[in-house]
Structure 1
């Protein structure tokens, strides 16, 4: 799906040290709608992108963990255990949005610490990253 690749590119551009966490091959035959990204080494924050699977609606969150060590342990378990591994993370900021195609995003809802004009409806990929950036 083009919008997922667009969002991955935006994450990589905004958080150049980021890396997407990958599930093991045991999950290969399951539809995957949740995506996790470490923003940088030695951080206690994780980015979570959820796709509803049927439409172009997404939820993008930054999750906060008690320490970098806890996150590192959970990220190590993720390939074999899946997304439930990160349930102890606390949402810091959340943006629900819809992709209109060609990099055009429409914000539906903002929650938490976003540091962004939440009255805005059209939002760029960079602005989306700014909304969930826990280091801002």
Structure 2
């Protein structure tokens, strides 16, 4: 399973107003690069997926910024400046997981404000979205 594309679809289904920030089309589907999604216009939250560099392990975060204006300025600068500009965002929710294939995700670690059953070992993409949803 291609985890980044699977989660892109899950993000778009769960957050229908979301939009992916594009650094370069050459990197859009390369798993070792991170991806970022604004979940809706006029929000101060950003979703972030990173590959941990080890097998099929990933970290999915909801980042919070001081204001929607700050996030908008950073998102506008992202294509040219890269992901380091988002370092000022504060992790609100973090879920580390491993892909088991076929849309099955094995949750490894939860941090921050989590809106799901953290005792569940396996979660779906939809449940992952619910876990980190900053609008709940």
Which runs of 5 or more structure 2 residues have no equivalent in the other structure? Answer: none
The residue that corresponds to 1:76 in the other structure is: 76
The residue that corresponds to 1:95 in the other structure is: 95
Confirm or deny that 1:108 pairs with 2:101: no
The residue that corresponds to 1:36 in the other structure is: 36
TM-score by length of 1: 0.92
Per the TM alignment, residue 122 of structure 1 is displaced from its structure 2 partner at its CA by: 0.5
The residue that corresponds to 2:13 in the other structure is: 13
What SS does the aligned partner of 2:88 have? Answer: coil
Per the TM alignment, residue 117 of structure 1 is displaced from its structure 2 partner at its CA by: 1.3
Equivalent-residue separation in structure 2 for 1:131 and 1:22 (angstroms):
24
TM-score by length of 2: 0.92
Which runs of 5 or more structure 1 residues have no equivalent in the other structure? Answer: none
Pairing of 1:49-60 with structure 2 (within 5 A): 49-60=49-60
Corresponding pairs, count: 135
